């Protein structure tokens, strides 16, 4: 992937993880990755709409997965995880630092990537408290 594409993704993301929304500045020792929403091994391209700026926590959780099946007591959900450029369509930030999925894609992504882990929820709550959101 070329440097211009990398810069475009970082600019679009405002240096924030495009999954959990935590800023790069919170993790100065870890450089956020530009990763593929649909992995190359599944036919994904090096195009901005298939790329996401991802913190190390989300990147490790996601790996090459772009579809997930979640089994519930009464139903089964099989859907893609979200494309970063449509975050507001799939998610909502809550005052308590949690992220809620608004769609099946959003709910699957929140679950699969553990976006509401205790540490990430605490970080988002503190960012909001400091007015850095």
| Number of residues in the chain | 133
* Percent of all residues in the chain with a pLDDT value above 90, rounded to a whole number: 25
- Sorted by sequence, the CB contacts under 8 Å of residue 43 that are 6+ apart come out as none
Query: Per residue in 86-102, pLDDT tens?
Result: 788 888 988 899 999 88
The residue-averaged pLDDT of 94-119 equals 87
CA distance 35 to 53: 6
Query: Per residue in 51-82, pLDDT tens?
Result: 889 888 776 666 555 444 444 433 444 555 66
Answer whether residue 117 shows pLDDT above 70. Answer: yes
Report domain extents, the chain.
Answer: 3-129
DSSP character string of 58-112: HHHHHTT--EEEEE-SS-EEEEEPPPGGGHHHHEEE-TTS-EEE-SHHHHHHHHH
CA distance 53 to 69: 24
């Amino acid at each position: 992937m070329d440097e211009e594409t990398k810069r475009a993704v970082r600019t679009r993301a405002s240096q924030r993880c495009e999954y959990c929304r935590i800023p790069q500045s919170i993790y100065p020792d870890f450089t956020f990755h530009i990763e593929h929403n649909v992995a190359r091994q599944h036919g994904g391209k090096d195009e901005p709409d298939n790329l996401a700026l991802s913190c190390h926590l989300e990147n490790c959780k996601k790996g090459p997965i772009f579809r997930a099946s979640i089994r519930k007591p009464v139903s089964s959900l099989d859907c893609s995880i979200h494309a970063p450029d449509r975050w507001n369509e799939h998610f909502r930030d809550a005052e308590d630092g949690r992220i809620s999925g608004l769609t099946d894609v959003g709910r699957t992504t929140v679950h699969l990537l553990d976006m509401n882990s205790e540490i990430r929820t605490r970080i988002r709550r503190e960012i909001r408290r400091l007015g850095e959101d």
